[in-house]
């Protein structure tokens, strides 16, 4: 009887260890995946902002350009500052419209939380403020004046 009990405890212990390892592996991998997704999204947005700038230069620096974002085949009219950066009004609606251009997945678009920081009123068309985004619990910020999109770790 004690031998059966010993084998039963060994099997139970092994199952508990395997389940604990699987749970730990799943949680760690999920966090790594989300971190990789956030870094990739930051790089994609910054690349698109750079492409918008060079498209603006190539077209002779107009106030508005029609730009195709990524592989979406959708054309977006983009109003630009005199620095060639996307002009985003510092409001929740404008900030959401800006980041939505770069989100391909409808579920991500539905889960974006937006807040803004208005830094200063400017009489020219260069806004000064920050759009803050929370996407799948990862926080990003778009600095309207500098055109910098950052993943805030």
Q: Where are the domains of the chain?
A: 2-151
The per-residue pLDDT for 119 is: 67
Residue 124: pLDDT band (50, 70, 90) is low
pLDDT of residue 27: 72
Share above pLDDT 90 across residues of the chain, in percent, rounded to a whole number: 29
The span from the CA of 53 to the CA of 58, in Å, is: 9
144 vs 69, more confident: 144
**What pLDDT sits at residue 11?**
87
Kindly report the average pLDDT of the chain as a whole number: 84
pLDDT of 103:
85
H/E element, 107: helix 106-110
Is residue 137 left, alpha or beta, with left meaning phi > 0 and alpha meaning psi from -120 to 50? Answer: left
Under 8 Å between Cβ of 74 and 43: no
Give the integer Cα–Cα distance in Å for 40 and 35.
9
């Amino acid at each position: 009887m004690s031998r059966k009990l010993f084998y039963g405890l060994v099997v139970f212990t092994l199952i508990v260890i395997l389940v604990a390892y699987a749970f730990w592996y799943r949680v760690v991998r999920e966090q790594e995946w989300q971190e990789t997704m956030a870094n990739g999204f930051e790089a994609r947005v910054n690349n698109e902002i750079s492409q918008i700038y060079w498209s603006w230069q190539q077209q002779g620096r107009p106030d508005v350009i029609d730009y195709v974002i990524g592989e979406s085949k959708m054309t977006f009219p983009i109003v630009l500052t005199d620095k060639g950066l996307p002009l985003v009004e510092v409001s929740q609606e404008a900030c959401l419209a800006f980041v939505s251009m770069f989100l391909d997945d409808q579920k991500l678009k539905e889960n974006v939380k937006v807040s803004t920081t208005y830094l200063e009123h400017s009489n020219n068309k260069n806004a000064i403020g920050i759009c803050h985004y929370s996407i799948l619990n990862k926080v990003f910020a778009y600095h309207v004046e500098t055109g910098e999109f950052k993943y805030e770790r």
